[in-house]
């Protein structure tokens, strides 16, 4: 029996298989409101046969967007727009759907990637950015304003408010974005956190704000409701965030009731040196899982069915995250199930597409 296509439990949520569609920014919202593009995009992915779909980084305040076109969940209008898209998608799919709540911090106010992705000037629709300290992201000309302790308290509540909206919308789980050089990661890493108060310096201090955000979110969701965090296992820069600190942070999250951890890497410095290759981030997921026992999602150039099967079968991780690969092949789970002799759920409209040699593929 395929381990990749075995069920898995995260908190009170049961997944049909171990394939997670990882969050992927689409840069196609307006004032934080999802658009028709998201109905098409998410509807397509929700018919893929994966076990879980997590929608893209969703900002908890306008200044927390990566670009002006990022999705948000800070107001009633954002919530209503998401409700409409989710209603359409759920009419045709019962796949569990999660949301990734985020704040871009010093990496905010940039153009869409297909327009260069550079930091937008204040006269180009950009805004003043914030961060744990005035240390800016190297390739962006405008440095961040250091967040005050009052600002931090306000942002903790912004995450909690977005979590309340997420529960109200019927999202099945919440992932907090603590990776890829965005705000929570910025606090964790000594490369971006140069504070000298209780939120900077020691590892304990650098973890303080991300843990406060996690605690606030966990406090406003129902019992058993899955809440976890995506982290970067390393900055890939000497003297930066690393796997030992990640393991310590994961242990603190577990002590506070985290239901899972999603392990990626990088994104906090242009000096990063990443040795790209298949499974290049899986060792970080394995290390966190072995040290903490937390349910773990692995990502990183996982493109083949046998590759994903081996990650689950050897216990390197509990789930695999597929992102760009499923944009390229939106039926990746179908094809993986066919190759591994497993079954996958398909919409009845698609049942006649089942090839003869895979007559037991669809359920």
| Helix or strand run (H / E) with residue 293 | none
Question: Residue 153: which residues within 8 A CB-CB, separation 6 or more?
Answer: none
Place of tokens 């990640």: 246
Mean pLDDT of the chain: 97
pLDDT attached to residue 260: 98
Q: Does a structural domain hold residue 3?
A: no
pTM for the whole thing? Answer: 0.97
Looking at the DSSP assignment, which residues form a beta bridge with residue 130?
A: 145
pLDDT attached to residue 363: 87
CATH of the domain at 294: 3.20.20.70
**Is 102 in a helix, a strand, or coil?**
strand
CA distance 196 to 117: 32
pLDDT tier, 349 (very low <50, low <70, confident <90, very high otherwise): very high
Q: Does a structural domain hold residue 134?
A: yes
pLDDT attached to residue 65: 98
pLDDT attached to residue 5: 98
For residue 262, give its domain range: 8-358
Q: Does a structural domain hold residue 199?
A: yes
Q: Does a structural domain hold residue 1?
A: no
pLDDT attached to residue 142: 94
Please determine, for residue 151, whether its predicted confidence score (pLDDT) is greater than 90: yes
| Helix or strand run (H / E) with residue 197 | none
Q: Does a structural domain hold residue 363?
A: no
Place of tokens 């695999």: 320
Other CB atoms within 10 A of residue 220 CB: 18
Please determine, for residue 22, whether its predicted confidence score (pLDDT) is greater than 90: yes
pLDDT attached to residue 361: 95
Number of H helices, E strands in the chain: 10, 13
CA distance 254 to 260: 8
Q: Does a structural domain hold residue 251?
A: yes
Q: Does a structural domain hold residue 346?
A: yes
Per-residue pLDDT, averaged over 206-231, amounts to: 98
Residue 234, burial from CB neighbour count under 10 angstroms (0-12, 13-18, 19+) = buried
Tokens found for residue 73? 């969940």
Catalytic residue among 27, 140, 182, 225: 182
pLDDT attached to residue 53: 98
On whether the CB atoms of residues 177 and 187 are closer than 8 A, the answer is no
Domain tally for the chain?
Answer: 1
Looking at the DSSP assignment, which residues form a beta bridge with residue 333?
A: none
Q: Does a structural domain hold residue 248?
A: yes
* Residue 102 φ/ψ region, left for φ over 0, alpha for ψ in the -120 to 50 degree band, beta for the rest: beta
Per-residue pLDDT, averaged over 310-324, amounts to: 98
Please determine, for residue 359, whether its predicted confidence score (pLDDT) is greater than 90: no
**Active-site annotation holds for 182:** yes
Please determine, for residue 207, whether its predicted confidence score (pLDDT) is greater than 90: yes
Tokens found for residue 363? 């359920």
- In terms of DSSP bridges, do strands 52-59 and 97-102 run parallel, antiparallel, or are they unpaired? parallel
Q: Phi and psi of 209, rounded to 5°?
A: -70, -50
CA distance 303 to 327: 11
């Amino acid at each position: 029996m395929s381990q990749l296509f075995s069920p898995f439990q995260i908190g009170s949520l049961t997944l049909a298989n171990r394939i997670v569609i990882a969050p992927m920014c689409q840069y196609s919202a307006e004032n934080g409101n999802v658009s028709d593009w998201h109905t098409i995009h998410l509807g397509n992915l929700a018919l893929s046969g994966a076990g879980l779909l997590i929608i893209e980084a969703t900002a908890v305040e306008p200044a927390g967007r990566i670009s002006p076109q990022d999705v948000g969940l800070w107001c009633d209008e954002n919530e209503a727009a998401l409700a409409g898209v989710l209603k359409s998608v759920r009419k045709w799919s019962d796949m569990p759907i999660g949301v990734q709540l985020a704040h871009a911090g010093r990496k905010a106010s940039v153009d869409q990637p297909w327009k260069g992705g550079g930091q937008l000037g204040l006269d180009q629709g950009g805004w003043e950015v914030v961060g744990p300290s005035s240390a800016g992201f190297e390739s962006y000309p405008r440095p961040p304003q250091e967040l005050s302790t009052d600002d931090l308290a306000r942002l903790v509540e912004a995450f909690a408010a977005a979590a309340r909206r997420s529960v109200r919308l019927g999202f099945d789980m919440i992932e907090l974005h603590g990776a890829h050089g965005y705000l929570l990661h910025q606090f964790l890493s000594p490369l971006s956190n140069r504070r000298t108060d209780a939120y900077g310096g020691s590892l304990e201090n650098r973890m303080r704000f991300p843990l406060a955000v996690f605690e606030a979110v966990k406090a406003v969701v129902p019992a058993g409701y899955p809440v976890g965090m995506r982290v970067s296992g390393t900055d890939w820069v000497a003297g930066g965030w690393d796997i030992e600190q990640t393991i310590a942070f994961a242990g603190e999250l577990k002590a506070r009731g985290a239901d899972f951890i999603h392990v990626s890497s990088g994104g906090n410095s242009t000096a990063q040196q990443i040795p790209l290759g298949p499974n290049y981030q899986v060792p970080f997921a394995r290390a966190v899982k072995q040290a903490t026992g937390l349910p773990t999602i692995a990502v990183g150039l996982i493109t083949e069915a046998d590759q994903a099967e081996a990650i689950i079968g050897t216990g390197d991780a509990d789930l695999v995250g597929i992102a760009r690969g499923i944009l390229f092949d939106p039926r990746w789970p179908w094809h993986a199930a066919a190759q591994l002799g497993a079954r996958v759920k398909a919409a009845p409209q698609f049942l006649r597409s089942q090839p003869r040699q895979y007559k037991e593929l669809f359920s």
